[in-house]
Structure formats: C-alpha cells, structure tokens
Amino acid sequence: MRSQTYRSLGVFSAWIIIAALVALAGCGGGGQASSIAPVINDKLFTPNYISSLDNLLHWNHLPMKVSFETPTNMAELGWSSSIFTNAADEWNQPGKRALVSVVPYGEPADAVVKFVNRSVFTGGTNATGIAHISYYENSLLITAANIEVCKDDPFRGTLSANDVQFTIAHEIGHALGIHGHSENTSDLMFNTFDSGKQYSPTLRDFNTIMSAYPTYFSSSLQSVKAAPISEAQGPIRTISIE
Ligand SMILES: [Zn+2]
C-alpha cells in the first residue's frame, strides 16, 4: 500500500564546526596546511548529480565497514537483521568492487548504525534517519560517521521494514561521501521519500559516489590507499544530514 505522505530526510543542515587543530607527529612547521581539496572529475562517471551537492567527501579506504546495533525489540518491530545487510549491499554493484562491507557490532567499523526512539532521535520530527559525518574540511577526507535510524514512524507507529531498509541505504549513501542530495525524485539520494515505495541506488547514485573514488573504480589493480599526511590535517568539520 502506497502512502502519499512525503517526509523529509534531508534539508536539515546543522553545521557544527569542531575546529580541531590536529597535531600530527612528524609534521613539521606551519605553512603546509593550504587547501588541498581534491578536484572532482564530474565527467568520469555519467550521468551523475555532483553539481547539486554541497561536497563530495571520501574515505581513505574502501570498502567502508558498517556495523549495526541490533534493536532489543526486533521481533516487536517486525524487522530482521537481513534488512540491515540488504540495505548495505544495495551499494555493492554486481561485477564492481565493493563500497560497503558489514562487520559484527562491536568490531572496528567506519560507520555505526543505531536504532533509537523518537524521543532521543537527533533528526527532525518528520525524518527517519540522520548521519553525523566528520571530515577534514580542506581535503574532504572523512574521519568518522554515525547513523541514527528512528524506530518510530513520523506518522503511524513503527517504521516499516521497507522504510527502514530505505532509510539505512540512504544514510549509508551520505556516510560514503554524498554531502547533499540529488534533485531527481527517483534517486535514492533525493531528500524525501514516499513511504512504502521501494528505492535502490540508481545509475546516477552509483556514478556520483564512484566519482569520489576514481582510482578504485577505474582500474582493478589500484586501490584506495591510506591518505597522505597532507590530506589528514587541518580543521575537522562535523555535519548532520538527514
Ligand atoms: Zn539525505
């Protein structure tokens, strides 16, 4: 059954600047912290919606490790843990290198997904998910990502299994580096969704995030290497995006 109710996932943009000066051992005097924002090639994988984003961020490695904290009342919610892994796997294209891998909760992970009640959810009243992402603002290198999914539907009880899967997949898209939204209603990374409708990453969604990792997807021989020290310095900014 398709609801006509649209709800916001994402025009919210609380910018919290954690002006952290990161002291790096072995990093000598000043004068080296000039802007080193990568030049994104928006012609490499097309069509895409890079031009409509605030930024295209990136990790220094892939796949991004994601873990899920299992809700205590899973049966009551009518969910199963396969929903979570399916949502993550939506970002892994057949025949292409993986963007996301799921690791058990408690093991080291890049992005941790937690399920919370509406009363403690940090997103807006109509939102179902929010991602908090920290990155070096010069180099756009992500350092941490945390995702909250609200267990309570904004309009009618518990969030449905369909909608929780969509919400997780959407927030993982942000955690992978999509800072902003598509302007195309059919894309997974559009900022609102129609409850009950099924969404998966489109070609435009894939092309957009692949553009953040050109060497990873352009050649089977190259990998995303650990960030050079010049990329991992300067102030860190934390954004919250639904
Ligand atoms: Zn969003």
- Distance, CA 164 to ligand 1 centroid (Å)? 14
Q: Is domain 38-241 annotated with CATH 3.40.390.10? A: yes
Q: Which residues surround ligand 1, an ion (CB under 5 A)?
A: 9-10
Q: How does residue 9 score in pLDDT terms, banded at 50, 70 and 90?
A: low
Three-class DSSP labels, 94-119: CCCCCCEEECCECECCCEEEEEECCC
> What does the pLDDT average to over 171-185?
98
Residue 228: asked if its preceding bond is cis (omega within 30°), the reply is no
32 has a pLDDT exceeding 90 = no
- Distance, CA 169 to ligand 1 centroid (Å)? 10
Angle CA(134)–CA(90)–CA(212) in degrees, nearest 5?
Answer: 45
pLDDT in tens, 120-149: 999 999 999 999 999 999 999 999 999 999
- Distance, CA 226 to ligand 1 centroid (Å)? 27
State the pLDDT at residue 21. Answer: 36
- Distance, CA 188 to ligand 1 centroid (Å)? 9
Domain coordinates in residue numbering, the chain: 38-241
3-class SS of residue 238: strand
- Distance, CA 176 to ligand 1 centroid (Å)? 12
If you write DSSP's letter for every residue of 25-74 in order, what string do you get? TT--SSS----------TTSS-S--GGGEEEE-B-SSSSEEEEEPPPTTH
φ, ψ of residue 59 to 5 degrees: the values are: -90, 165
State the pLDDT at residue 38. Answer: 80
If you write DSSP's letter for every residue of 175-198 in order, what string do you get? HHTEEE-BS-TTSTTBSEEETT--
State the pLDDT at residue 39. Answer: 84
Structure-model confidence comparison of residues 25 and 32, the more confident one: 32
3-class SS of residue 168: helix
pTM of the model: 0.85
Q: How does residue 228 score in pLDDT terms, banded at 50, 70 and 90?
A: confident
**Residues near 30 by beta carbon (within 8 Å), at least 6 away in sequence:** none
Contact 167, 84 (CB under 8 A): no
- Distance, CA 6 to ligand 1 centroid (Å)? 14
Q: How confident is the prediction for the chain on average, in pLDDT?
A: 86
- Distance, CA 23 to ligand 1 centroid (Å)? 32
- Distance, CA 222 to ligand 1 centroid (Å)? 30
pLDDT in tens, 68-122: 999 989 999 999 999 999 999 999 999 999 999 999 999 999 999 999 999 999 9
State the pLDDT at residue 204. Answer: 98
Q: How does residue 229 score in pLDDT terms, banded at 50, 70 and 90?
A: confident
